[in-house]
Structure 1
Amino acid sequence: MIFCENCFNDKEIISIICSVPLLNTGKCPLCHNEGHLYNTDTQNFLTPYFEELLNIYAPSTTLPETYPRAKVRSLIDDLKDRWNIFAEIPREQIYEILKSICGELYANVPELFNGAVGIPELYDSVYLREHALLKNNNWDAFVEEIKTKNRFHSKLINFDILEKYCSFIRKPYKKGKLFYRARISDRSGYPKSEMSAPPAGKSLEGRANARGIVCLYVASDVDTTLHEVRAGVFDFVSVGTFQLKKDITVVDLRAIAEISPFVEGLDYLDHAINKQYLEKLNIEMSKSLRRSDSTLDYVPTQYIVDFIKSITHNGKQEYDGIEYNSTTNPGGYNLSIFNPDVFECMAVDVYDIEQLHYTFTRVNR
Structure 2
Amino acid sequence: MPYLYLGSMPETAAAEIRPHTGEVACVADFTIPEIQAVDLRNPRKLVSPFILEDAGAIGQLRADLPFLERLGEELTRPVLPSGAAIDYIPSQYLCEFIKKSGFDGVVYRSSVSDGINLALFDPSKAQGGVVAIYNVDRVSVQVSQA
Same fold, judged at TM 0.5 (above): yes
Hey, what's the Cα distance between the residues in 1 that align with 2:126 and 2:84?
A: 30
Verify the 8 A CA contact 2:72 2:108 in the aligned structure 1. yes
Tell me which of 309, 312, 315 is aligned to 2:99.
Answer: 309
Where does 1:9-48 land on structure 2 (aligned, <5 Å)? Answer: none
Hey, what's the Cα distance between the residues in 2 that align with 1:291 and 1:304?
A: 20
1:341/1:307 CA distance change after superposition, 3 Å: same
Amino acid at match of 1:345: G
Gaps of 5+ in 1: 1-208, 312-317
Gaps of 5+ in 2: none
Question: Alpha-carbon deviation of 1:294?
Answer: 4.2
Amino acid at match of 2:18: R
Amino acid at match of 2:94: I
Tell me which of 205, 210, 231 is aligned to 2:19.
Answer: 231
Amino acid at match of 2:39: D
Tell me which of 58, 76, 79 is aligned to 1:289.
Answer: 79
- CA deviations on 1:156-189 (whole Å, 9 max, x unpaired) are xxxxxxxxxxxxxxxxxxxxxxxxxxxxxxxxxx
Tell me which of 130, 136, 144 is aligned to 1:353.
Answer: 136
Question: Alpha-carbon deviation of 1:335?
Answer: 0.6
Greater displacement, 260-269 / 334-343: 260-269
Hey, what's the Cα distance between the residues in 2 that align with 1:282 and 1:307?
A: 14
1:264/1:341 CA distance change after superposition, 3 Å: same
- CA deviations on 1:11-43 (whole Å, 9 max, x unpaired) are xxxxxxxxxxxxxxxxxxxxxxxxxxxxxxxxx
- CA deviations on 1:41-77 (whole Å, 9 max, x unpaired) are xxxxxxxxxxxxxxxxxxxxxxxxxxxxxxxxxxxxx
Q: Secondary structure at the match of 1:275?
A: helix
Hey, what's the Cα distance between the residues in 2 that align with 1:247 and 1:270?
A: 27
Amino acid at match of 1:242: F
Verify the 8 A CA contact 2:25 2:135 in the aligned structure 1. yes
In the alignment, what sits opposite 1:264?
Answer: 52
Hey, what's the Cα distance between the residues in 2 that align with 1:224 and 1:322?
A: 16
In the alignment, what sits opposite 1:275?
Answer: 65
Hey, what's the Cα distance between the residues in 2 that align with 1:269 and 1:339?
A: 32
Question: Alpha-carbon deviation of 1:286?
Answer: 1.4
Q: Secondary structure at the match of 1:282?
A: helix
Hey, what's the Cα distance between the residues in 2 that align with 1:290 and 1:256?
A: 26
Q: Answer yes or no: is 1:220 the counterpart of 2:11.
A: no
Between the two structures, name the one with larger relative contact order (CA 8 Å, sep ≥ 6): 2
Hey, what's the Cα distance between the residues in 2 that align with 1:251 and 1:260?
A: 14
Question: Alpha-carbon deviation of 1:290?
Answer: 1.0
Q: Secondary structure at the match of 1:359?
A: coil
Tell me which of 286, 304, 325 is aligned to 2:109.
Answer: 325
Number of residue pairs matched by the alignment: 143
Hey, what's the Cα distance between the residues in 1 that align with 2:141 and 2:125?
A: 36
Report the identity percentage: 28
- CA deviations on 1:328-358 (whole Å, 9 max, x unpaired) are 113x111111111111221111111122222
Hey, what's the Cα distance between the residues in 1 that align with 2:81 and 2:34?
A: 37
Tell me which of 113, 116, 120 is aligned to 1:337.
Answer: 120
* RMSD of aligned alpha carbons: 1.9
